[in-house]
Amino acid sequence: MTLPINQIINKDWIEAAKELPDQSVHCIITSPPYWGQRNYGVEGQLGLEATPELHIEKLVAGFRELRRVLRDDGTLWVNYGDKYAGSGGENDNFSKGIKKGTVNSQNTNLDSGNLLGLAWRLALALQADGWILRSDIIWAKGLSFCDSYSGSVMPESVNGWRWERCRVKVKELRKRTGGKIAENQDRNDADGGRIGNQAWNEYKDCPGCPKCEKNGGYVFRKGSWRPTKGHEYLFMFAKKQGYYCDMEAVREPQTSDPNKIKPAKGVKNVCDETTGKMMRFKPQEIFFNPSGRNLRDVWVINPQVWSRAHYATFPEKLVEPIIKVSTSQKGVCPKCGSQWCRVVDVYQQKLTGSTGKTKVPNANNWEEINNRTNRVSTTLGWRPTCGCQSEISYLKSLEPIPAVVYDPFMGSGTVAAVAAKLGRNYCGSELSKDYLDNQANIRIAEAETGVTMEEIEAGQGALFE
């Protein structure tokens, strides 16, 4: 058994995993088909199980096989969305072409409209199966109460309680005039937000009916409002304690200037970044790292649609930080696969003014009085984390090779493309030959060459002009 580096296996994810060697990949990043959401049109596809329980059981079994393939110091990242009982998938066309008696979002024993909590059911099931659940990252697509950004989400039809003008279908009128009727006009009663302008135009104010006459032309509707879904989960799992992670690779800019932070009164509980322990600090001792702060667990990323895919794919921005933090930029030992690690210098730096020079202490400035210092971490270089080099010292050096990122549900190949862009190797599986040939492979070629298919096609057109 060898790992087919930089290839996507055109097989069922479990069948593919069974053929892979133990401990051969450094990290797994994936978005499995959600339950009852989409019909990928391939025999053996996941997501069409009769109940959510069966679906999660299958996922757990597959990830168990992949746990064998993942290195002991590797991590697994699973993106998963949620669903409401009684809601159809894919614009209600979901059941077309699917065998009777398979998936049905009514198969839940829950009242319609109930949030199924599938993402958390999956996370807890994986935890029960032995994975260490390390983080429940919120992939925020839409935000509220944020002045500078609102994001973009799938439109949903939600409504509250309201009195509405009574309207009647133009159908009745059209029938008489012999005109055509819009297909979706029957939906009007269910929900106002769902129908397009065309359908609205198919309704006219009611001239008076038993429903509205006594209410001055209005009817009372009870919508079961809830906020529009603006997030999905990204769960981070470890196989064992002591997994590889490179926090320096994903630091983000500090949002406030340490020279401007005012001290809170009294003593504060602060998490020490190095030890992870909560420590009690006097305000003036709170450290500030100009190299950036640690990544948070709410990631605001707009969904990204790749032009050739006809369904939601991973945004590349979601995959980038995962690859950066879970695989070494420098690479891995070619002999044993251990990831190289940064040599980091952590030192205390005196606070300086905007000129970069050390400030003369100012009696009116609290931080200078307290002679506060910053903790700065800088990368000096990289070192292997195994002893292979010394064992075979007769060789000049064991040059590192790229780490391997695996995605069992490659789809349009986002994980592979981002891995290629970041200089990592990839591997994975995808059941649909169509997606593989017409999406993933094209996308990877684009990532590897830096030239898009559109540019190539445009270029070829120019040749024959």
Phi, psi of 250 (to 5 degrees): -125, 20
- How far apart are alpha carbons 409 and 319 in whole angstroms? 14
Task: With CA atoms as reference, report the closest residue to 61 among 19, 2, 15.
Answer: 15
* Least separation in angstroms between CB 213 and ligand SAM: 51
Phi, psi of 356 (to 5 degrees): 90, -10
- How far apart are alpha carbons 223 and 190 in whole angstroms? 9
Tokens 């690479």 appear where?
A: 331
Q: Does 237 bind ligand SAM (CB under 6 A)?
A: no
- How far apart are alpha carbons 330 and 254 in whole angstroms? 25
Q: Mask 410-449, x = binds ligand SAM (CB under 6 A)?
A: -xx-x--------------xxxx--x--------------
Q: Does 221 bind Zn ion (CB under 5 A)?
A: no
Q: Does 20 bind ligand SAM (CB under 6 A)?
A: no
Q: Which does 212 bind (CB under 5 to 8 A by kind): ligand SAM, Zn ion, none?
A: Zn ion
Q: Which does 335 bind (CB under 5 to 8 A by kind): Zn ion, ligand SAM, none?
A: Zn ion
- Identify which of residues 88 and 223 has a Cβ nearer to ligand SAM in the complex: 88
Residue at 299: amino acid letter = W
Q: Does 388 bind Zn ion (CB under 5 A)?
A: yes
Q: Does 45 bind ligand SAM (CB under 6 A)?
A: yes
Q: Which does 166 bind (CB under 5 to 8 A by kind): ligand SAM, Zn ion, none?
A: Zn ion
**What is the DSSP-derived secondary structure letter of residue 190?**
T
Q: Which residue of this chain has its Cβ atom nearest to ligand SAM in the complex?
A: 411
* Least separation in angstroms between CB 137 and ligand SAM: 16
Long-range contacts of 95-104 (CB under 8 A, 24+ apart): 96/39, 97/39, 97/41, 98/39, 98/48, 99/48, 101/50, 102/48, 102/49, 102/50, 103/35, 103/36, 103/47, 103/48, 103/49, 103/50, 104/36, 104/50
Q: How many residues bind ligand SAM (CB under 6 A)?
A: 21
Task: With CA atoms as reference, report the closest residue to 133 among 237, 5, 35, 34.
Answer: 237
Q: Mask 262-301, x = binds Zn ion (CB under 5 A)?
A: ----------------------------------------
Residues found near Zn ion in the complex (CB under 5 A): 166, 206, 209, 211-212, 333, 335-336, 338, 386, 388
Residues found near ligand SAM in the complex (CB under 6 A): 12-13, 31, 33, 40, 42, 44-46, 309, 313-314, 409, 411-412, 414, 429-432, 435
